[in-house]
Chains A and B, each alone.
Chain A
Amino acid sequence: MSSIAFQLLINGLIAGAIYALVASGFSLIYSTNKFIHFAHGAVIAFSAYVLYFLFSILGINFGFSVVLAIIFASLLGYLLDIAVYKQLRKKKTSSVILLIASVGLLILLESLILLLFGADVKTIGFIKGSKGMEFLGAIITPLQIFIIITSIILLAGLFLFMKKTKLGKAMRAVSDNKDVAEIVGISSEKIYSWSFIIGSAIAGIAAILIGLEQNLEPTMGTNLMIKGFAAAIIGGIGSVHGAVLGAFLLGIVENFGIWYLPSGYKDAIAFVLLFIFLLFRPQGILRIKRRAEK
């Protein structure tokens, strides 16, 4: 019995790590820009396809393809900001309009993928499927361990980045109060762009790991965003390391939930958790202090 529990914990961690990869970049962009960038999912999907194109079709060295895919993700995020969001911000549009624009971009990018790569499911095929390793009675593959470690490093790295670096501090300043930040000489436009560049680079990392673990489909971005978004809310929207914790919580609760409940309820469990947080703890897991300060 305990080996099942441990395996479920591992399953939850794997699922949570994947949600965390999506949620952290998304949350980073939200924290400064203050609107919901749904097209983040499509950036992940597109970068995964770029990796597929470079590695599986052109046959470029895997490491080099990975670097190019991450750069591509960064550039795509930056481009979306410059070409669409910045233009809308110039017109002082509300964040609701930006949200709608982001849904539009999500659909546009997914259709582009469909146009360029076709509808059928693709596999990158760098890692051949095989039996995973035994670890205290549970089974996990090396790639999955790597995914979990990456998301934990992301959690720590983003925490340090936001607390210690100049750019991170500037981001937090803009996130707290844009106008005051501008008074002390921080260009909010620059910070918006930087958060898109960094957030989308994280999307690139997510694309590679998710692309190796799962299959590629044009609509994978939407599917990833649904859970990634839920995780970001649970973690406290706008709190980057909160999003990572929220993702792990979501993954673990979901997988333990269907231990006794029928497995068809998996998504229902995720959204019940989301509702519980929205009703009783809308500030998310990590937002205790800040509320008290206010």
Chain B
Amino acid sequence: MMKKQNKIYLVIGIVVVVLIAAIVIFSNQQSEEEVIKIGAILPLSGSNAVYGQEIQNAIELAREEINSEGGINGKVLKIIYEDDQADPKMGTNSMQKLVNVEKVFVVLGSWASGSVVASAPIAEENQVIVLASAISPLITDAGDYIFRMQPSAIFYTSKSTELLRKEGFSTAAIIYINNEFGVGLKNAFISDFESRGGDIISVEAYEQGASDFRTQLTKIKDKNPEIVFIPGYQDTVDVIKQMKELGIECKILAGPPFESQSSIEKLGNMADGVLYAYHFVAGKNDTKSQQYEQAYLEKYGVPTGGFAPLMYDGTYIIANALKKCGEETSCIKKELYSTEYNGVTGKVTFDENGDPLIPIVIKTVKNGKFVPYNK
């Protein structure tokens, strides 16, 4: 009796194993023939998920369009997403996984500077192309295979310090997030503002994830600056809130992540008048941008943010390179350096360090809307 039962189990076991093997082999064959897969690292959870989600939306929009127009020479473009929560540690883990387990040869992202700086060496060593969307000046020298869609910090700060000095602001304080992103913008701002004859009178830091900035702000208040520069992530909102609570009434210059619908939702009319340098203005007068903005709104029900168009263009740029080169990374790299792509963000080219050349504008908040700043 027992033996018979054992035999039945054995037979069932063998059938299951064979089935699984068949499925694995079958699906692998299919993927090798028809799918071309690349990776993407984005902050999809945690306090900076708003940016990651927005970028993922844009990448998916581009991917669907590319696939519906025939894919990459007939192959379907597939993207494997990894979540780094804007954390360098998780960024390197994600990169390891994409490079060593998923064996991708192109990685989009991350959005967080620290994550890109920490994970770039892994990509460089394995000759994997990275197209990031991050701001830190360190990414300029991160490697030959490392490109990015977002301009370096210096382009933002030179534009904003120029305006500030022109409008007669001469003393500034800085409260920055203590990571690659914040440090990059802080250093660029200090050297720019001082070279234009301005005075930096107070520099304070806070850790990523902090929620109490009162003592830093108390010290800044004591110095009485004319402008406070806040290169931060979503926490910029809380810094501004606590500034108002403490009665600091000076002009505010925020970092690029300030442009996010949630900033306005959380700050209300406290957001009015906040300045920031940015790489994107919605509602441009060319068909490509209008089509993109329309498509994004239709698909997701919300208007596009400013980080999404960068990677929307980025996905197309990568797709074009893949069409020419297949999976050969040295060819893709060469193709990227000679890119001249007319996209939503304008004409995109990369310099010899893989940095893009995209114009920067000063923007502000007026009646709950992000608009270009003019006096």
By the criterion CB–CB under 8 Å, are B49 and A120 in contact?
yes
**Which residues of chain B in 37-75 are interfacial with respect to chain A, using CB atoms and an 8 Å cutoff?**
44-47, 49-50, 53
Find chain A residues with CB under 8 A from B270 CB: 129
The one of B47, B215, B245 in contact with A129, judged by C-beta atoms closer than 8 angstroms, is B245
**Which residues of chain A in 30-88 are interfacial with respect to chain B, using CB atoms and an 8 Å cutoff?**
none
A215 at the interface (CB under 8 A from B): yes
Among A18, A120, A218, A267, which residue has the most Cβ atoms of chain B within 10 A? A120
By the criterion CB–CB under 8 Å, are A132 and B245 in contact?
yes
B283 at the interface (CB under 8 A from A): no
Q: How far is the CA of A130 from the CA of B218 in the complex (A)?
A: 16
CB of A231 to closest CB in B, whole Å: 14
By the criterion CB–CB under 8 Å, are B244 and A130 in contact?
yes
Find chain A residues with CB under 8 A from B222 CB: 4
Q: How far is the CA of A215 from the CA of B219 in the complex (A)?
A: 24
Given contacts A123-B266, A141-B245, A259-B215, contact A267 B207 (CB under 8 A): yes
CB of B120 to closest CB in A, whole Å: 24
B339 at the interface (CB under 8 A from A): no
**Which residues of chain B in 182-221 are interfacial with respect to chain A, using CB atoms and an 8 Å cutoff?**
204-207, 209-212, 214-216, 218-219
By the criterion CB–CB under 8 Å, are A215 and B215 in contact?
no
Among B206, B214, B244, B247, which residue has the most Cβ atoms of chain A within 10 A? B214
A219 at the interface (CB under 8 A from B): yes
By the criterion CB–CB under 8 Å, are A263 and B49 in contact?
no
Quick one: closest A residue to B240, CB to CB? A129
The one of B53, B204, B245, B267 in contact with A139, judged by C-beta atoms closer than 8 angstroms, is B245
Given contacts A4-B218, A14-B214, A255-B215, contact A129 B49 (CB under 8 A): no
Find chain A residues with CB under 8 A from B212 CB: 11, 14-15, 18
CB of B209 to closest CB in A, whole Å: 6
Contact with A along B132-172 (1 / 0, CB 8 A): 00000000000000000000000000000000000000000
State the interface size on chain B (CB cutoff 8 A): 34
Contact with B along A113-141 (1 / 0, CB 8 A): 01000111101000011111000000101
CB of A251 to closest CB in B, whole Å: 9
The one of B53, B209, B216, B241 in contact with A223, judged by C-beta atoms closer than 8 angstroms, is B209
B96 at the interface (CB under 8 A from A): no
By the criterion CB–CB under 8 Å, are A132 and B247 in contact?
yes
CB of A78 to closest CB in B, whole Å: 29
Find chain B residues with CB under 8 A from A258 CB: 215-216, 219
Q: How far is the CA of A262 from the CA of B262 in the complex (A)?
A: 30
Q: How far is the CA of A121 from the CA of B241 in the complex (A)?
A: 15
B residues with CB within 8 A of A: 44-47, 49-50, 53, 178, 204-207, 209-212, 214-216, 218-219, 222, 234, 238, 241, 244-247, 262, 266-268, 270
